Structure 1
Amino acid sequence: MSRIRFRSATPVVILAVVLAGCSGEGTEGDGPVPDLGAIPRVRSSADISDLPMDGYILGKEQYGTYLKAQRSLIRRCMSRFGFDFRAMDAVLDAGEVPDLRPDMTRYYFLIDADAAATSGYRAPERHRPVEEGDGTGEDTTPTAAERAVLVGSNAGKQVDGEQVPEGGCRGEANRETLGEGGTDSFLQLPNDRVALRARTDADERVKKVFGEWSACMEKAGYDYDDPMQANDDDKWDASKPAGQAEIQVAKADVACKQKVNVVGVWWAVQAAYEKQYIEKNAERMAEVKRTVDAVLRNSGRLVGGGA
Structure 2
Amino acid sequence: MSLKSAAICAALAVLAIVASSCSTPDSDVPTPPQKSANAAKPSAKSDAEITLPLDSYILSEKQLLRISKGYGYTVEVCAQRFGLSFTPTPLSKNDTAPRNSRRYGITDHAVAKTLGYHADFSRKEKENAIKPGSDLDSVLSGKVRVFSGKAVPAGGCIGEAQELINRGTRELDTVDKAQELSRASYDLSMKEKPVVQGFGRWSQCMKEAGHTYLRPIDPFNDEKHSTSSISKAEIATASNDMACKDSTDVVQVWNTVETRIQNRLIKENQGELDAIRKDNLRRLTNAEAALKF
Q: Same fold (TM over 0.5)?
A: yes
Give the deviation of 1:69 after TM superposition: 2.0
Give the deviation of 1:253 after TM superposition: 2.0
Does residue 1:42 correspond to 2:38, yes or no? no
State the match for 1:224 in structure 2: 213
State the match for 1:242 in structure 2: 231
Does residue 1:214 correspond to 2:200, yes or no? no
**Structure with larger RCO (C-alpha < 8 A, sep 6+):** 1
Does residue 1:126 correspond to 2:114, yes or no? no
* Distance (Å, rounded) in 1 between the aligned partners of 2:79 and 2:40: 52
State the match for 2:23 in structure 1: none
* Distance (Å, rounded) in 1 between the aligned partners of 2:38 and 2:165: 38
Give the deviation of 1:62 after TM superposition: 2.3
SS at 1:227 equivalent: coil
* Distance (Å, rounded) in 2 between the aligned partners of 1:181 and 1:231: 37
Cα-to-partner distance string for 1:195-249 (whole Å, 9 max, x where unaligned): 3365146423333321221123234443322223334433457344432x44443
Indicate conservation of the 8 Å contact 2:61/2:93, yes or no: no
Equivalence map 1:1-307=2 (5 Å): 15-19=8-12, 21-22=14-15, 40=39, 42-46=41-45, 48-77=49-78, 82=82, 84=84, 86=86, 89=88, 91-92=89-90, 95=92, 98-99=95-96, 101-102=98-99, 104=101, 106-117=102-113, 120-131=116-127, 134-135=128-129, 138-139=131-132, 147-148=141-142, 162=151, 173=161, 176-178=164-166, 180-182=168-170, 184=172, 188=176, 191-192=179-180, 195-196=183-184, 198-200=186-188, 202-205=190-193, 206-236=195-225, 238-243=227-232, 245-303=233-291, 305=292, 307=293
The 1:121/1:286 distance shift into structure 2, 3 A limit, reads closer
The 1:271/1:145 distance shift into structure 2, 3 A limit, reads same
Task: Name structure 1 gaps, 5 residues minimum.
Answer: 1-11, 25-35
- The root-mean-square deviation of aligned C-alpha atoms, in Å, is 4.3
Percent of aligned positions with the same letter in both sequences? 23
Task: Name structure 2 gaps, 5 residues minimum.
Answer: 18-34
Give the deviation of 1:283 after TM superposition: 2.0
SS at 2:42 equivalent: coil
The 1:143/1:38 distance shift into structure 2, 3 A limit, reads closer
Give the deviation of 1:176 after TM superposition: 4.4
Given the two structures, how large is their TM-score scaled by the length of structure 1? 0.65
Indicate conservation of the 8 Å contact 2:45/2:109, yes or no: no
* Distance (Å, rounded) in 2 between the aligned partners of 1:220 and 1:163: 63
Could you say which structure has the larger radius of gyration? Answer: 1
The 1:178/1:220 distance shift into structure 2, 3 A limit, reads same
The 1:193/1:100 distance shift into structure 2, 3 A limit, reads farther
State the match for 1:28 in structure 2: none
Give the deviation of 1:23 after TM superposition: 5.2
Cα-to-partner distance string for 1:251-304 (whole Å, 9 max, x where unaligned): 33222212221111222233334333333332222122222223333322331x
